A and B are shown apart, each in its own frame.
Chain A
Amino acid sequence: MKPVLPFLELEVGPRVPVTCDGVALDLPLGANLAAALLAAGIDVFRHTPVSGAPRGPFCMMGACFDCLVEIAGTTRQACMVEVTAGLDIRRPNMGRDAGI
């Protein structure tokens, strides 16, 4: 991870606990999940099934399917999910570098 996070949260509000690959995170309640994960410093959301290349959010409007994550076992577009307490987020095909 880079010392300064690439994204900056401009506002503060209530936060709720979630887990991402088992690691505890506090994300803004009701926020767009893809935006909240980016702001938390998570840039790689998954690796592609074809070549294993890293991917992250690209369109933020539910069209590109690059921000796919697993939530409670179902593959979802992170940019179409809102943050709620207790989300269990897993990143598909993270393989060897699954650490956050």
Chain B
Amino acid sequence: MQEFDLAIIGAGPAGMAAAHEAAGLGLRVVLLDEQPRPGGQIHRDVDRVAGARADRLGLDYRHGLRLTAALRQADIHHLAGAVVWAIEDGFCLSYTRNGQAGQVTAARVVLATGALERPMPLPGWTLPGVMMAGAGQILLKQSGVAARRAVLVGAGPLLYLVAAQMVRAGTPPLALVETPTGADRWRALRHLAGALRGWRDLVKGAAMLAVIARARVPRFPAATDIVIEGKTGPDALRFTSRGRAQRIPCDIVFLHHGVVPDTQAARSLGVRHLWHPQQACFVPQLDDWGGTDVPGVYIAGDGGGIGGAGAAEIAGRLAALRLAEDAGRITQAQRDHRAKPLRAALSRALALRPFLDAAFPPYAAALAPADDTVVCRCEEVTAGTIRDHARLGCLGPNQAKAYGRAGMGPCQGRYCGLTVTAILAKANGRSFDDTGYFRIRPPLKPVTLGALAAMEHTEPGTPDQETKT
């Protein structure tokens, strides 16, 4: 089994930056990533995207090219297409790659697992043709596949970005149905002074809105009572905006109301998480370097709290500096000297965040779905069933698993965990922290018995191996 100084999980901005920095400081680094090529979700498949498509997607995407180029130059053992399904003490990481299981060991771990889109349970959200807006964006940027008659629903900068990219692709959305209210905008204005330090992002946002306006995409503010109609796919989106009932026939619905940290790997290691009221999600508790309460386990990027791609990259470098010091490759003084400009840049990168959190809160009705709305997509458990569990004395998500299987399907609670916690917390009148979250155990992703059985006989993965499916 190959041994490394550092294992990094995830090749998005945080993971790529951490790997590059750590390898440059002399650490032996293994980088494991689920995708066949580096980039993460924000720079997905950036190395293969044609020039024309890169133009359509905008400058930020091309910044990813610089990150992947740096990754190639450095001496990094990059296991692409490796799905990590267990991280055990010591640390031993088990993964599946090309249908075969393998293991590597490393003295330290950086989790750069990024974010998931916040689940948005509303009537009809399980229909084929209803997707997260990030999925719509992945279709566009990775595959050049555009939805012809789509409605965008929810809140957040990503919704505008996807809308603008759809306009540039020649397939503008039929409508932008937005859930934030005028009151949200007022609350956000209190953070405007701080936000001005992140003026570059504000300018980008204004440019996206201009593209949407020029394409005359209808926008419906303060939407409530949102329902997706249809039996085998969306027929129409129904909602109320400014007191008027609306119905927009469509083929595709893209949902989005923010992103939340993907905490599965961190939770499986027992990292302490606390509820973050402004971001409305659980966030791992980290020190200034991304260090957790579990020795040797660090978290960088959106997996440690939502900060965006720019902040993620910096957090990755900071974690690498701390770990290089830990491994004796640099002194504490060298570490702090190198970290100083990074900390200033991190503060700038996060300046807009409080404004964004206030301006684009989650859609309230999706945090407390109606009784007949499916919450757990895998096991098809409704919000009403979870409330029934609470009436029978169920206090937390782990008990809810035993009562009715919520969170026990293949996605392992990724798209119901926060909703189940919210419903139980409200029903029982307890805090989110007291209610808690699903206990996450390996395997973090399904692994076949065949892959496990063959594990003894397989050599650890080699870099640059062609990923074939």
Please report A residues at the B interface, Cβ cutoff 8 Å. Answer: 2, 4-11, 28, 30-32, 35-36, 38-39, 43-45, 48, 50-51, 53-66, 68, 71, 74, 76, 80-82, 84
Contact = CB atoms under 8 A, between A and B. Distances in A.
Contacts of A56: 128-129, 131, 233
B469 A82 contact: yes
A5 B171 CA distance: 13
A57 B254 CA distance: 12
Nearest to B448: A74
B144 interface: yes
Contact of A31 (B129, B143, B414): B143
Contacts of A53: 126, 380
Interface of B: 34, 36, 41, 48, 50, 52-53, 83, 99, 116-117, 126-132, 134-135, 138-139, 142-149, 169-171, 232-233, 251-252, 262, 377-380, 409-411, 414-415, 445, 448, 467-469
10 contacts: A5-B148, A6-B149, A7-B252, A8-B146, A32-B142, A43-B232, A44-B232, A53-B126, A58-B130, A82-B469
A35 B145 contact: yes
A39 B145 CA distance: 7
Contacts, number: 131
Main secondary structure of the interface of B (DSSP, over half): loop
Contacts of A64: 377, 411, 414-415
Nearest to B410: A65
Contact of A35 (B142, B149, B415): B142
Contact of B380 (A48, A60, A82): A48
A40 to B, nearest CB: 10
Contacts of B145: 7-10, 35-36, 38-39
Nearest to A50: B380
B379 A50 contact: yes
B131 A57 contact: yes
A84 B127 CA distance: 28
A10 B135 contact: no
A65 B409 contact: yes
A10 B144 contact: yes
